[in-house]
Amino acid sequence: MPTLALLMLEVATVVVPGTVPTDAAKTTLLRPVPPPTCLARPGEIVVCGRDANSYRLPPLAARPEVTGPPRAEWRLPGGATAGINTQQRNVGGYPSNAVMATIKIPF
């Protein structure tokens, strides 16, 4: 069954000459190489080279550094704050993750 499917796919991709208009074929093809911009006039010696960075992406915009995950804090009535964060501690020589819930009340 897979062989039949592959055969049908192969037959479906065959292009018969004359079925594709010549003007459509010229406009739909991609041209990955830019046209040459280095042209010499008669009697001149011109040395041309390809720019090594022509296909590189531009550098990314500067982003602020993140030191860790954002802290989850909420303001409570009376100036108090409640928050949840995570900590990692060593218990018996093995790392242990913990979730800490805190409430801060001003005196």
What DSSP state is assigned to residue 18?
T
Residue-level pLDDT at 105 = 92
What is the residue extent of each domain of the chain? Answer: 72-107
What does pLDDT average to over the chain? Answer: 76
Residue-level pLDDT at 40 = 74
Question: How confident is the model over 73-105, as pLDDT tens digits?
Answer: 999 988 999 999 888 888 888 988 888 899 999
Three-state secondary structure call for residue 97 = strand
Question: How confident is the model over 1-18, as pLDDT tens digits?
Answer: 678 777 777 766 555 555
In whole angstroms, give the CA distance from residue 71 to residue 57.
Answer: 34
In whole angstroms, give the CA distance from residue 62 to residue 2.
Answer: 50
Cβ distance 73 to 83 under 8 Å? Answer: yes
Query: Given strand 72-75, what is the order of strands in its sheet?
Result: 72-75, 81-91, 94-104
